[in-house]
Amino acid sequence: MRKTLTGLIAAAMTAALGTFALHAEPLAYPQKVVTLVTHSSPGGGSDVFLRELSKYLGKYIAATFVVENVQGGSGAKAVARVAAAPADGSVFYATTPTYIYTSLLSKPSATYKDLEPLVNMFADSEVIYTRADGPYKTLKDVIDKAKSERGRWGASNPASLERQAAEQLKRAAGVNAAIVTHEGGGDMMLNVLNGTLDIGIGEIQELRSQIEAGKVRLLATFNPQRIPEKPDVPTVKESGYDVSLVKFRGLAGPKGLPDDVTKVWDTAVKAVLEDPEYKKRYTEEVLVANFIPHAEYPAFITNFADTTEAFLKETGAVK
């Protein structure tokens, strides 16, 4: 009885604290307006991520959030825009593996090393998709086409995890499909739907409306395991090709972010990830919460960059 009573009290206190957190005043912040920059075109993965996130951040941080699309150079222009901004908490960049790949595969004016990782929020599933009324029912169908007629595969931009996923799949399957790159996932999806591309590689969040409309068929995921919300979609590895990748999503700012900014974001991001409304939304988008605080995020990014550079050197992409 005593254990039961203790458990009930603990549960009640947890619920009370949760209710308090949801209804507490937004945290004071040194900026009234915060610009969230992405290299994605409207409708692309990072664009969708930021626009959805911005609907909820105001409940936890006392500021207005706006999204700015800075396209060009496979993310190089967006990184340069943020690197040159004041380190006062007014401008941040949506981090994905793209800003690592762009830094390693080209010589941009600013690289990932010129930004300060702020916080990570999600792990994102990469999927292979095709038009629902097309000839491809399985990933094997796509590979067979690539063996006989080469084929055309889409990736969001030249220096993206999607592009590297396509290259790794080509290598694992022993085919030489043409990889057609775009400045954003929205543009690529149009070319999949009109039949210009056999497949595209992207995130479910940018495909959701087309999936619900029955316009797109998911063929496989690069996740190590099947996506819980899409249990019928096999992994690439299950399909016979030894490739597994997961995308990270977070934020970075100019170098030298002050403590009063980073502490607010650490607290607010933990809270927003537990927000019931936002949690419902990002779960529908098949995003998995993966909170990495400011103190740990730089090491995570450095490790990812080092691992990526080693792979690119092994494959001859960089020297």
Q: Which tens digits make up the pLDDT trace of 193-224? A: 999 999 999 888 788 889 999 999 999 999 98
Residue 160: band (very low, low, confident or very high) from pLDDT cuts 50, 70, 90: confident
Residue 75: closest CA among 158, 196, 181, 163: 158
In whole angstroms, give the CA distance from residue 242 to residue 311.
Answer: 15
pTM of the model: 0.74
**In whole numbers, what is the pLDDT of the chain averaged over residues?**
89
Check pLDDT > 50 for residue 2. Answer: no
Domain spans, the chain: 7-123+248-314, 126-221
Cβ atoms within 10 Å, residue 3:
7
For residues 155 and 162, the answer to whether their CB atoms sit within 8 Å is yes
- The answer to whether 7-123+248-314 and 126-221 have equal CATH topology is yes
Q: How much is the pLDDT for 208? A: 84
Q: How much is the pLDDT for 69? A: 96
Tens digit of pLDDT for each residue in 165-184?
Answer: 998 999 999 999 999 988 77
Check pLDDT > 50 for residue 4. Answer: no
Q: How much is the pLDDT for 184? A: 72
Residue 21: band (very low, low, confident or very high) from pLDDT cuts 50, 70, 90: very low
Tens digit of pLDDT for each residue in 31-74?
Answer: 999 999 999 888 888 999 999 999 999 999 999 999 999 998 88
Section 1-24 average pLDDT: 43
In whole angstroms, give the CA distance from residue 108 to residue 79.
Answer: 9
Section 232-261 average pLDDT: 95
Q: How much is the pLDDT for 205? A: 77
Check pLDDT > 70 for residue 23. Answer: no
Residue ranges of alpha helices (H) inside 117-243 are 139-149, 161-173, 185-193, 204-212
Q: How much is the pLDDT for 273? A: 97
Check pLDDT > 50 for residue 12. Answer: no
Q: How much is the pLDDT for 17? A: 39
Check pLDDT > 90 for residue 293. Answer: yes
Judged by DSSP in three states, 266 sits in: helix
Check pLDDT > 60 for residue 7. Answer: no
Strand partners, 127: 202, 221
Q: Residue 182 has which token pair? A: 């775009």
Q: How much is the pLDDT for 59? A: 96
In whole angstroms, give the CA distance from residue 111 to residue 101.
Answer: 10
Q: Which fold is adopted by the domain 7-123+248-314?
A: D-Maltodextrin-Binding Protein; domain 2 (3.40.190)
Q: What percent of the chain has pLDDT over 90?
A: 66
Tell me, rounded to whole angstroms, the distance of Cα 44 from its chain centroid: 10
Domain 126-221 has CATH 1.10.3720.10: no
In whole angstroms, give the CA distance from residue 92 to residue 250.
Answer: 10
Q: How much is the pLDDT for 143? A: 97
Check pLDDT > 80 for residue 22. Answer: no
Q: What percent of the chain has pLDDT over 70?
A: 92
Residue 226: closest CA among 216, 217, 214, 236: 236
Check pLDDT > 80 for residue 154. Answer: yes
